[in-house]
Structures are given as structure tokens and as C-alpha cells.
Chains A and B, each alone.
Chain A
Amino acid sequence: MRLSSKHLTLIIMAALIVAAPFFFPSGYYFRVGALIFVNALAVTGIVILTGYAGQISLGHAGFAGIGGYACALAPVHWGLPPALAVVLGAAVSAALAYLVGRPILRLKGYYLGVASLGFGILVAMVLNNERELTKGPDGIEVADLGLRGLLKDWGLNLSNGEFWYAFTGLCLVIGAWIALNLFNSPSGRALRALHGSEIAAGTVGIDVARVKLQAFVISAVYASVAGSLTALQNKFVTPDIAGFMHSVEMVTMAVLGGVGSVPGAILGAGILTLLPQVLTVFAEYEQLILGLVMMLVMIFLREGLVPSILRKIRGRGE
């Protein structure tokens, strides 16, 4: 029963990703799709941290920044292939999350939010200021991943947009699969238990500090990989990737869709990624509308879109 709901989610996701291009009016939508997938991947990490474990981070963009700049710097300075740079970025993010998380995660609520925010801003500041390495606020070029060329050699000729759509879509499905695995596993139960009651979690033997740290590290890796993919896809990265607004976006996407739910994360990412695209017509109103959406959803759909909708459907069924 539970197994099938996980597989159902993944199958629907994969089907949507495969089917959507048939309705694309132009190649531009491949790019929008890839943007959504990358954001959704980062947000899936937030679902694990905030939705499962109940911990807040307003600094996860910092890890996206590390992932992004790893892809910009490692190939140039250490001759690492970009694919390995992704792994390096994830490893550095994980290590940093482990070091920073230990003291930070003792804090709760607003304090945790602000401590993580401080961390994210420090990363952004380093990226802005260490011009010799990062070239500063104007950003830096990123090498090509090289996978598209490889596929071409094997006879699979994809446009740049198509390739990134397919590749990030695949990454998202894998990321969702991992997050859904975690949900019903012993580790996932421990995370959700501490969300429910930290004190009770302790009495059943859950090492709350350790388990929180696990969630923090896992979600940092998600953010880092998403950052790497963004940088590789754009072949360019700026310090904005690590900025406070990016952290806020991630959390908002997660909460908009329903923070405990992986499909919710993807829906939230979809809506908030599309919103500015739709609003380009009235670019001046973009901030106004974004702020309004954030407030309205939190006031009227507290649980987020997907859980609220599910509740409605179930309520009708009974």
C-alpha cells in the first residue's frame, strides 16, 4: 500500500516530465522546465530538513553557492572534470553542513533560522569579496559538463535545451526517489518523530542531535547539487546563487507546495519558477505579486497546496 504510493508518485512524475515536451510551443520551454526541475531538487532537500525533521534553514542557498562555484573553480584550478566538480561541491557542502550544523542545530525556531541565515550570508559575502578566486559580483564562467557531446558521439543528438531538460528531469526523479525512500525508512521515522516531539524522540532512544545533523547534511547535498546543475546549465554563476533571497525562495517553494510532501515541493517549485516568467509582462509588479502570494498562501493554505488539496478530496470522499 505505502510502497505503491511511493511508486505511483514517481511514475506520475516521470510521465509528466516525458509528456510535457509534446505540449511545448517552443524550445524556450525546455529551459523553463529545467529551471523548475533544478529548483525542485533543491526544495526536495528542504522537505527533508523542514518537512520531515521540522528544522528551519534560511541559509541553504549558501550550499547552492558552494555547489555552483565548485563547478566554476575546480575544473580551472585543479583540472577536475565538471562531473567530478559536482561531487566535490557536494562533499564540501556536506562537510561544511556537518561542521556548522553541530552548533547551529542546538537552536530552535527563529534562532535556528537566523543562525542559518548568517551562515548563508557569509558564504555569499566570501563569493562576492574574494575577487581573485571568484571574480566577484559579476560572476564567473563555468565549463561545459561534456555529457551532451558524449551523447552525440553515441548517436543521441539533443539540443542544449532538450539535453538539460532531460538531464535535470532525471536528477529530480532520482532525488525524489531518495527522499521518498527516506520517508518510510528507520532514519526517516526518526526524523519525523523528532519533529513530532523532541522529548519523546529521546525517550525511544533517538539521538536527536545526530539525526538532525543527518537531515541538515542530506539537505545541504541536495542544495549543492542543485547549485552545480544551475551553474553547469547556465555555463555561468554569480554570487546571487548564495544570496538570502535564494534561500527564502527555496523555503517558500517548499512551504507553498506543502512542506512535508515531495510532490508538493515540486509543485511549489513549479509555481514560483513560472511566476516570474509569466510576470515578465508586468515586471514592475513582480515583487509585489511574489510578496502577496507568499502571504496569502501562508494565511489561507497553512499546510501548503498539496496537503490542503488532498484534505479537500478526502473530505469529499468521506
Chain B
Amino acid sequence: MSEFLQFLFSGLTVGAVYALVALGFTIIYNASGVVNFAQGEFVMLGGMITVFAHAAGLPLPLAALAAIAATAAVGVALNKLAIEPARGAPVVSLIIITIGASIFIRGAAQLIFDKQIHSFPAFSGDDPIHVLGATILTQSLWAIGGAFAVFVGLWLFFTRTILGRAVLATSNNRLAAQLVGINTDFVMTLSFALSAAIGAFAGVLITPITMTSYDVGLGLALKGFAGAMLGGMGNPKGAFAGGLLLGLFEAMTAGYLSSQYKEAAAFVVILAVLFFMPQGLFGSKSTDRV
């Protein structure tokens, strides 16, 4: 039991990060139809900028805020400089553009920062909490709580605010949204900023546990994407649940089967989901029109 609980805790912790990455994917996918392979770089930037801002003397909360704001700016730049000019390009081109962006950001991070592994102190100390024979880091609670807070915040934003509804309307039908006077370019920019900020926030939450370096982005992007797909592409609730489930699945695989193949878990899940229910757990079916 305590063993299971231990795996559960670690699964929820990484799952929280995957869930945030998956949410970020979903926001951009819904606003622009683009799958952003550079999503993981936002997480990396969030962690790395906090590390360096903190080292430069900023207090941790301020450093984290600076990192989130800077990453949001990177997200906006990505949209303005690479995604908007390529509107209407085929899927292969868009895939290559965002992978190119991911490699570019990684290369820039390697130059601006360095190639070392970094971390910063946990928010509330390093003493773990004991629960039924298992232990959980306080930082894990921060990560899980932070992820849920973002999820609830987004839900409120999309359902309760005019701006959020404008984003939803744009994702449903871009042209119709323009016709009723929504500035869809602004919505796109907002989505990239929001998505990048969420990614950076995830980076801030998880760095004290997993540490970070310039090259952690790609793996996270793939996991987040797997989570989003598991839940059903384009569905925020699905993305969040999918990310958490994926984290759990990975932790259980590592715990009970083989830690070597824990990375494989994500991809076995993706393949299984795609084969047996291509719409994902929460997705809806679509029909081609002729």
C-alpha cells in the first residue's frame, strides 16, 4: 500500500507538469489549429530564467514572475514571427516550423545560459511529509496544487469572461468570430502568451524536484502532446486529465514493471489510444464533408 501510494505521489507530480504542457498545447491548437512542438521549451525557459534571475539576486517569487513574463513574450514572438506568416501552410510545414522553433529556442538557451543542470530551492523547504508510510515532497504539493489552480483559473476564464469566450468562439469558427467583431489576431497572440506562461509556470513548479537544463524541452513537449492526445485533441478537460493519467501510468510502469521503459509508457499509451479510440478519451467524433 505504501509503495503504491509512493508511486501515486510521484505520478501525480510529473502528471501535473504533463497536464500543464498538455493544456498549453490545447490552447494554441484551439486558437490556431497548430500543434506547437516548441511547447516544452516554454517549460525549460520558465525553469532556466528563474534559475538565472534568482542567481542574479532577485528573490525567488520575483524571479519566477519575471520568467513567466519573459516566456510569455517569447510565445508572442513565436506567433508573430513564425506562425502568423505561415498561415494556411500544410501540416508538414507547420510541424517543421514549430520543431525548428524548438531547436532555435534550445540553441539560444544554450548560448544565453549554459549546458549545465540547474535547480533552485523548493518553495517551502525540503522536509518531506509522511503519509501512510509513503513520503511526499512539499514541492510536489505545490506542483499538483499549482496545476489544479491553473486548470480552475482557465475554466473560469473561458466560461466567465468575455475575452475567454472570444477565444472559444475563435476556435470554433474563425471566420464567424471575425464577422461578429472579434479581433482574431489578438486572440491568437493572447493564446500563445497564455500557453507560454502556463508552460513557464510548470517549469517553475517542477524545477526544484527534477532540475532543469537547456535540453529538457523536447521530451516534455512529446509527453504533453501524448497527454493532450490521450484526452482528445482540443479538449482542455481531456488534456488535463490525459496529462495526469500519463504521469500516473509512467510512475506505475517505472515502479512495477521497468524503470528503463518508463519513458516507453507514454508512447505505448499514444499508440494504443490512436489505434483503439482515435478521438481520445474525451474527444468527439467528426465527419468529413463531401
A residues with a Cβ closer than 8 A to B are 50, 56, 58, 103-104, 106-107, 109-111, 113-115, 117-119, 121-122, 125, 129, 199, 244, 248, 251-252, 255, 259, 284-295, 298-299, 302
Q: Is B55 an interface residue (CB 8 A)?
A: no
| B270 x A58 contact (CB < 8 A) | no
A and B contact pairs by CB, cutoff 8 A, 20 listed? A56-B91, A104-B275, A107-B274, A110-B35, A114-B226, A115-B270, A115-B271, A118-B268, A122-B268, A125-B261, A248-B96, A255-B93, A288-B104, A291-B100, A294-B100, A294-B103, A295-B82, A302-B86, A302-B89, A302-B93
- Which residues from A are CB-within-8-Å of B99? 248, 252, 294
Which chain A residue has the least Cβ–Cβ distance from B276? A103
Of B107-115, B173-181, B242-250, which binds chain A?
Answer: B107-115
B107-131 to A contact mask, C-beta < 8 Å, 1/0: 1101100000000000000000000
Contacts of B237 in A (CB 8 A): none
Instruction: Give 18 A-B pairs besides A109-B91, A125-B261, A255-B93 with Cβ atoms closer than 8 angstroms.
Output: A111-B274, A111-B278, A114-B270, A115-B270, A121-B264, A122-B268, A244-B222, A248-B96, A251-B96, A252-B96, A284-B111, A288-B104, A288-B111, A290-B100, A291-B100, A291-B103, A291-B106, A299-B85
Closest-by-CB residue of B relative to A58 is: B95
Contact A291 B105 (CB under 8 A): yes
Q: Once the chains are docked, how many angstroms separate the CA of A111 from the CA of B233?
A: 9
Q: How far is the CA of A285 from the CA of B103 in the complex (A)?
A: 11
Give 10 nearest A-B pairs by CB, closest first: A291-B104, A294-B100, A287-B107, A288-B107, A291-B103, A118-B267, A295-B100, A129-B260, A298-B93, A109-B91
Residues of B contacting A56 with CB < 8 Å? 91-92, 95
What's the least CB distance linking A46 to chain B, in Å?
10
Q: What is the bound-complex CA distance between A252 and B261, given in angstroms? A: 29
A137 CB to nearest B CB, Å: 11
B residues with CB within 8 A of A? 35, 82, 85-86, 89-97, 99-108, 110-111, 218, 222, 225-226, 229, 233, 260-261, 263-264, 267-268, 270-271, 274-275, 278, 288, 290
In this complex, what residue of B is CB-closest to A289? Answer: B107
Residue of B nearest to A291 (CB): B104
The main secondary structure of chain A at its interface with chain B is: helix
Q: In the complex, what's the smallest C-beta–C-beta distance from B25 to chain A, in angstroms?
A: 10
What is the CA–CA distance of A111 and B274 in the complex, to the nearest angstrom?
Answer: 8
Q: Write out the residue numbers on chain A whose beta carbons fall within 8 Å of the beta carbon of B264.
A: 121-122, 125
Chain A residues near B89 (CB-CB < 8 A)? 298-299, 302
From residue B99, how far is it (CB to closest CB) to chain A in Å? 5
* Complexed CA–CA distance, A13 and B99 (Å): 31
Task: A111 to B85: give the CA distance in the assembly, Å.
Answer: 24
Q: Which residues on the A side are within 8 Å of B106 (C-beta)? A: 287, 291
Q: Which of B86, B103, B104, B263 contacts A298 (CB 8 A)?
A: B86
The listed residue (B107, B268, B271, B288) touching A199 by CB distance below 8 A is B288
For A104, A109, A121, A291, which residue has the most chain B Cβ atoms within 10 angstroms?
A291
Q: How far is the CA of A23 from the CA of B103 in the complex (A)?
A: 34
Q: How far is the CA of A285 from the CA of B96 in the complex (A)?
A: 19
A125, B262: Cα distance in complex, Å = 10
If the complex has contacts A248-B99, A255-B93, A302-B89, are A104 and B107 also in contact, measured as CB distance less than 8 A? no
CB-nearest residue of chain B to A284: B111
CB distance from B173 to the nearest CB of A (A): 19
**Can you name the residue of chain B whose Cβ is closest to the Cβ of A125?**
B264
Within the assembled complex, what's the spacing in Å between the Cα atoms of A125 and B105?
25
Q: Collect the chain B residues with CB atoms within 8 Å of residue A103's CB.
A: 274-275
Interface contact B82-A113, CB-CB below 8 Å: no
Residue of A nearest to B115 (CB): A284
Closest to B271 in A: A118
Tell whether, in the assembled complex, residue A259 and residue B92 are in contact, meaning their CB atoms are under 8 Å apart: yes
With contact pairs A56-B95, A302-B89 given, residues A291 and B107 touching in the complex (Cβ less than 8 Å) = yes
Contacts of A106 in B (CB 8 A): 278
